[in-house]
Structure 1
Amino acid sequence: MPKIRHSHGNHPQKPPRSKWGTVLARYDGTGMLIAWQVRYPNPLEPGKRVQRQFKPDQELEARRWLEAEKYLVSLHRNGIAEWVHPTERSRRKAVAEKSRTQRNMLFRDYVMRWAEEYRLPDGNGIAGGTRRNLYLDIGHFLPSLGDLPLNEITPSIIKAWYDAPHPEGRWAFRRSCMRLKAVLESATRGGLDGSEPLLSFNPFIFHIPPAPQPARINVPPVTPSELILLADAMPDYTRLSVFLSTLVGGLRCGELCGLQVQDIDLNRQILHVRHSVNRGDADRGDLQFGKTKTESSIRNVHIPDTLIPLIRQHLSDYCDLTRPDSPVFVPKRARIMSQTTLDGQFAKARLKAGRPDLTFQALRASHATLLMIQGGTLREVMNQLGHVSEKVAIRYYQLTVASHQSQVVDELAESFMSDIQRRES
């Protein structure tokens, strides 16, 4: 770095001022040249200046820049071209370069960036399990489309993938179509930095396949005798889980694993559903208490009188009552019970009970159906399950009980015919 020696009281000599703009040398306290500052009058805002700094060894570049700016200002004053501030010019150049790069990027690269930035509609990030499902959905179309440039994805190319066999199943194919459409739709919108859309239209112009009828809606609700068989077939330290899922709030498997001692208030007969379990946002590492599936899944449900002795005995036998955050279901070799472990235990128990069609989701659906049969309202059932959608509650969690349906039809006919007979007599 050049060092300038000064005379005249250690004050640097000022360079002569040009007729238009200036190139000024800047020094530190020791007289060392540290920068060249270039400035000229802002042609759009009288009284203000445009300025830029260059490194000590860039005096030539500084003067060339000033001459180039002078030319642009002259074009502006002569009405030939609009003058744009250098900062805005740099931003526009960066945006244009980014757009050119993105238009030529492989579809695979764009999809992976989209997935990394994926957020829920409320702006929050997604849980690790949800992210795992997101990448599973993406994995169904990336092998066919991933190596193509983004701007070469056309409806005909998508149709070839759409019409091909999809051994992953109807549910997975439907989700993949929804993901593919969403990815391509995002490319039709401009960036927050002002960059142009990467696609002029969404090439996914096909119908999203309808949702298949879920198999569990044909699964009959669990009966009292079957529930006893299930409980007897479960390990003693997780036996309570089948009772809670069937009779208390229709708890999901993850919610059962996420229960803590402090979530159970036997005096007020309230069970607080506050957590599920996961392995963090990256879906890696040790299990931890995390968020429930949705915000509406956070709920308080009533504990029936008949279950209080059973719950109290379980807490006494298997839980650390000195720690409010102690899990209700304590695993043998880990700190937190995993859904895989509890599901595995239930899979063996349902075979012994003669109900291989049952899952924890089926117990949850049984809870909803049996509540309705006992006179519960749709709103009460939704509160128990933590639902905000009537369609979901009706479609997936209210099963048809043939004997009850026959009884209702018989009672309806009997009521009408009795009234008719009274009128005729």
Structure 2
Amino acid sequence: MPRNRRPKKNQTEKPRSNWGTVIPRYDKNGGIIAWQVRYPNPLVPGKRVQRQFKPWQELDARTWLEEEKHLVDLHNKGISEWTHPTQRKKEKLSKLKEQERRRILFRDYVTQWESNYKLPDGGEIAGGTRRNLKLDIRHFITDFESLHLSEITPLKIKAWYDKPHPEGQWAFRRSCMRFKAILESATKPGLDGTEPLLQFNPFIFPIPPAPRSSRIDAPPVTPRELMLLAEAMPEYTRLSVFLSTLVGGLRCGELCGLRVMDIDLDSQTLHVRHSVNRGRTDRGEIRYSRTKTGASIRNVHIPDALMPMIRQHLHDHCDMRLPESPIFVPRRAKIMSQTTLEEQFAKARVKARRPDLTFQGLRASHATLLMLRGGTLREVMNELGHTSEKVAIRYYQLTVAEHQSRIVNLLARDFMDA
């Protein structure tokens, strides 16, 4: 008998069970240091199942052996299938973990969803997009954050859906879309194969229709208004309003992201390659970043009439020796921010008596004026970097009343004079 199983004088070994064994283990001084329990593995002949208990757990050891015998008896009678204690322990822990996962608070689930939010191509979203995402979530999270995910019902959502929403129609619509998307994601299996947290999406209500955009009713900028805007802009950013209106309909972020190497004077081509943002958290320094979409990366023609102005701007405000230096050089930073350029434009549009205009309005003007001069929808989409005809038509083709009246008169005259 090995030393750790030899009882000392006046010490007797416990009798063995009729099925399985409970064996004391001793230290070199004869003290019990553990109880080892063994029994035959009913699935693998010749193998034993064993477990070890603490010195003071003899009763627990014998109880466990009896419970195991009962499970083996049920298995031998075909009543239930026996599994190894280790496997049972894993399954129990997994079940407890799954129960805990299903009791996740809604605010915690939303936090996970927001942190894992990606672009359709799997890329990271820009800081400004993340900021807007947080704003959309803020409009509904306070009503549900203390509930478990499983406690959110259509009735509770309806109470939120029907109440006043002072944030406005656009914000309410976006919040509904985010809310529904978050709950929909909970109905999908986990990437690790775990079961869905919800059996169905409780957001069963229609997404509110998109309100009519105020941009649709805004007339395109006129030549005189464009000159007034330019005169009201600081000299070092004056070129921006011409580029947005007459060259590619550049967005504000794309204007800020322009560098000397993006303008090819020989071929009269402007390369739109970047935008700017403050990084993933929207709190860092301004940096060059990807454009809004992949289609936004484009090469656009610089009109002859703008070449002298662009050459003069490059000479007066840019370091032509450094291809990566910005086209619009800020006064107190390395890269021009959208906020700075938009603030300058906000003052200029008031002086030009077009307070409704934004850089998006100039972009829409570019699209509309191209169409009025014979440009095709495909050409306009290429110029603006769009892939959706619906978006191009809905938001970037403004109605010009005079032009509409003229073509209606021409149509009627052709028919009446025939």
TM-score bucket of the superposed structures, by smaller chain: 0.7 to 0.9
8 Å Cα contact 2:39-2:50 kept in structure 1: no
Residue in structure 1 matched with residue 242 of structure 2 by the alignment: 243
Report percent identity of matched pairs: 68
Distance 2:149 2:262 in 1: 50
Residue in structure 2 matched with residue 261 of structure 1 by the alignment: 260
SS at match of 2:276: strand
Distance 1:319 1:50 in 2: 82
Distance 2:254 2:411 in 1: 40
SS at match of 1:189: coil
8 Å Cα contact 1:95-1:195 kept in structure 2: no
8 Å Cα contact 2:41-2:49 kept in structure 1: no
Residue in structure 1 matched with residue 31 of structure 2 by the alignment: none
C-alpha distance after superposition, 1:174-210 (max 9, x if no partner): 0001111111111222222232222222111111100
TM-score under structure 2 length normalisation:
0.83
Distance 1:219 1:317 in 2: 34
Residue in structure 2 matched with residue 273 of structure 1 by the alignment: 272
Distance 1:227 1:279 in 2: 30
Residue in structure 2 matched with residue 117 of structure 1 by the alignment: 116
8 Å Cα contact 2:229-2:349 kept in structure 1: yes
Give the 3 Å change call, closer, same or farther, for CA 91–131 of structure 1 in structure 2. farther
- State the Cα RMSD in Å: 3.5
Give the 3 Å change call, closer, same or farther, for CA 312–53 of structure 1 in structure 2. farther
Distance 1:308 1:51 in 2: 86
Letter in 2 for 1:368: A
Residue in structure 2 matched with residue 388 of structure 1 by the alignment: 387
C-alpha distance after superposition, 1:243-262 (max 9, x if no partner): 00000110000010011111
SS at match of 2:236: coil
C-alpha distance after superposition, 1:239-290 (max 9, x if no partner): 0000000001100000100111111111111111111111111112111001
Aligned length: 389
Distance 2:90 2:296 in 1: 45
Residue in structure 2 matched with residue 186 of structure 1 by the alignment: 185
The answer to whether 1:225 aligns with 2:224 is yes
Offset at residue 94 of structure 1 (A) = 4.4
8 Å Cα contact 1:95-1:193 kept in structure 2: no
Residue in structure 1 matched with residue 34 of structure 2 by the alignment: none
Offset at residue 52 of structure 1 (A) = 11
Distance 2:212 2:48 in 1: 66
Offset at residue 326 of structure 1 (A) = 0.8
Residue in structure 2 matched with residue 152 of structure 1 by the alignment: 151
Give the 3 Å change call, closer, same or farther, for CA 41–234 of structure 1 in structure 2. farther
Offset at residue 319 of structure 1 (A) = 1.1
8 Å Cα contact 1:39-1:52 kept in structure 2: yes
SS at match of 2:235: coil
The answer to whether 1:172 aligns with 2:171 is yes
Distance 1:141 1:52 in 2: 54
Letter in 1 for 2:290: K
Offset at residue 401 of structure 1 (A) = 0.3
Offset at residue 123 of structure 1 (A) = 2.3
Give the 3 Å change call, closer, same or farther, for CA 193–351 of structure 1 in structure 2. same
Offset at residue 215 of structure 1 (A) = 0.5
Letter in 2 for 1:357: D
Give the 3 Å change call, closer, same or farther, for CA 127–79 of structure 1 in structure 2. farther
Give the 3 Å change call, closer, same or farther, for CA 293–91 of structure 1 in structure 2. farther
Residue in structure 1 matched with residue 331 of structure 2 by the alignment: 332
C-alpha distance after superposition, 1:310-342 (max 9, x if no partner): 111111111121221111110000001000000
Give the 3 Å change call, closer, same or farther, for CA 78–269 of structure 1 in structure 2. farther
C-alpha distance after superposition, 1:155-181 (max 9, x if no partner): 111111111110000000000011111
1:314-325 alignment, distance < 5 Å: 314-325=313-324
Letter in 1 for 2:119: L
C-alpha distance after superposition, 1:119-156 (max 9, x if no partner): 22222221111111111000000111111222211111
Distance 1:333 1:299 in 2: 29
TM-score under structure 1 length normalisation:
0.81
Give the 3 Å change call, closer, same or farther, for CA 84–121 of structure 1 in structure 2. farther
Letter in 2 for 1:203: P
The answer to whether 1:376 aligns with 2:375 is yes
Residue in structure 2 matched with residue 300 of structure 1 by the alignment: 299
Letter in 2 for 1:197: P
Distance 1:287 1:39 in 2: 67
Letter in 1 for 2:162: D
Offset at residue 39 of structure 1 (A) = 12
Distance 1:324 1:42 in 2: 76
C-alpha distance after superposition, 1:87-106 (max 9, x if no partner): 86566444422331133232
Q: Runs in 1 of length 4+ with deviation above 3 angstroms?
A: 38-44, 49-54, 66-95
Give the 3 Å change call, closer, same or farther, for CA 229–194 of structure 1 in structure 2. same
Residue in structure 2 matched with residue 400 of structure 1 by the alignment: 399
SS at match of 1:230: helix
Residue in structure 1 matched with residue 212 of structure 2 by the alignment: 213
Offset at residue 385 of structure 1 (A) = 0.8
Residue in structure 1 matched with residue 16 of structure 2 by the alignment: none
Q: Which moved more, 1:119-128 or 1:245-254?
A: 119-128
Letter in 2 for 1:290: S
Give the 3 Å change call, closer, same or farther, for CA 119–412 of structure 1 in structure 2. same
Gaps of 5+ in 2: 5-18, 21-36
SS at match of 1:272: strand
Q: Which moved more, 1:302-311 or 1:371-380?
A: 302-311
Residue in structure 2 matched with residue 102 of structure 1 by the alignment: 101
C-alpha distance after superposition, 1:205-246 (max 9, x if no partner): 111100001111111000111111111110000000000000
Give the 3 Å change call, closer, same or farther, for CA 42–316 of structure 1 in structure 2. farther
Distance 1:332 1:302 in 2: 29
Give the 3 Å change call, closer, same or farther, for CA 93–311 of structure 1 in structure 2. farther
Q: Which moved more, 1:267-276 or 1:370-379?
A: 267-276
Gaps of 5+ in 1: 5-18, 21-37, 421-425
